[in-house]
Chain A
Amino acid sequence: MALSGVEIFKLLPKTNCKKCGHPTCLAFAMKLAQRQATLESCPDVSEEAKKILGEASAPPVRPITFGAGDKAVKMGEETVLFRHDKKFVNPCAFAVEIPDTLAEAEMASLSEQVVQSEIDRVGQKLRIDAIVLTNASGDAGKLEAAAKVVAAKATGVPVIINTTNAQAAEAAMKHVGDKRPILYGANASNVEAMAAVAKANKAILGIAANGLEELSTLTEKVKSLGVEDMVIDSGARKAKEIIENNTLIRRAAVKKNFKPLGYPIINFMQREDGLHEALVASTGVAKYASIVVLSSVEKWKNLALFTLRQNIYTDPQVPMQVEQKVYNIGDPKAGSPLFITTNFSLTYFIVSGEIENSKVASRLAVMDCEGLSVLTAWAAGKFTASKIAQFITESGIEKEIAEKELIIPGYVAILSGSIEDKLPGWKITVGPREANAIPAFLKTRG
């Protein structure tokens, strides 16, 4: 359980020396409790206090970096059960399974699909993050050969080696062992040997348990064998059990600070029907999975899953923003209408979507208002006549259009006169208040 500010205060030197940058030790303790400061700022804290506070302030779900280089995936660090309580921290990774029984060409083609899966959405780069290489053959040589193919064809993509055979794991590690892979498949009967392979290769160990009781016992055992970084699988495969076990794991970690389950969760969600697989995977994205294993990576499925993950992991306190610029919708000509709105991503999506629905090619000037919607930005003094005038002038858009006319959102009709004053030669037209009236508005303009 996280310590309260007062509990932390009792462990501090209580000298109010201000060296940490806070006026008093109590103020510093409060910041520590809210995770807005770190203990390193205090030069005088005792070793004992460090130990207690270090353990208490460690996130309930252990932070682990999977893979190496620019495709490495951060996992864990979660502190809440519901995104509205604060936020979900590290977006869950999507991994596609490649069985070592596939022909080499098929392995290469799946690897290629993973490498090519990256999509840009609202300024974020989203992709299939990892490959699960499954020892379906049961043969160590086949797994090793497959690891070699994947390491060559999907360079830099983090790999999960899925086997219960420690010799096969050891063989596969020759090709992926230096990239901080996950070795998944440690169970009650092979845990010592698997932990030894993970330890020798600095790999993360994936625990394959049957139920939460066994899972807790296994993680404790692995820790005692000297492997600290783990991902955990409760054995749940059906959506109902996945939600149940993932919820109980996150609750144990967050509410009880129960360390044996304070690790990122891996869920195997392969289904024959690709859409059904995507829907089951979406329940894992919403409910606490850190790695979701899929059987295929069709583009339409990736796009839907990436978007859901982005939605769920958006910080509820920080509005999503789009880049400030003049966007073309359709193929605008010199005489096409020019709209302006703010850069709150939802505002942008809805306004651009309605303009698109109207089938009238247009320009949409999106102004940086720190991600606020039109009315909020106006109220906060970020969407004002002078700022709009400055943005329009600096955008240089007047060189591309025949008639200098700007359509402003109906909610800020009040600004039309003052924008006209500040943008000499421009005609300001008041558009609809709600975006859904844009198609009708454009229709009446003819």
Chain B
Amino acid sequence: MKHLLLILFLMISGRSYAVDTRQLLDLKQQESYETLTKELRCLVCQNQTIADSNAELAADLRRQVYEMLEKGKSNDEIIQFMTDRYGDFVLYKPAFKGKTVILWIAPIVFLIMGLITVFFFIKRKKTSINLQNRADSLHMNEDKQKKIRSLLENGDIS
């Protein structure tokens, strides 16, 4: 019981906070700040967003986002600013276009390939089981027939 409680409390406490928080006056800007910093990749630590990372470059990019929001720039303008400088790689969620199409399509293709494989696998297994069953029943019949024949020819010895 004690352990269970401990585990329960540990689970509850697992809340993470952003590395730094800036306060913008406008609630909508604050929201933009939070979504933008979660959409932009930290280019030094590649698998973190700039909201998660405390690398120096991430801090500089957060400052940049903050200042641009303060100046009243829209989310799209800020995303454009970043991709102009760092390329599509700065976007954590890549844009859907020629170069990135394989990223978006590949999972679906793999899923379909998997489903097809499973389908044929099950189908083959089923037919092989059916054949096996039929062979078994034929086999049994043969045995029984032999017994019947011997009973008919020799009569019941027992």
A, B bound: no
B binding-site residues for A, Cβ under 8 Å: none
A binding-site residues for B, Cβ under 8 Å: none
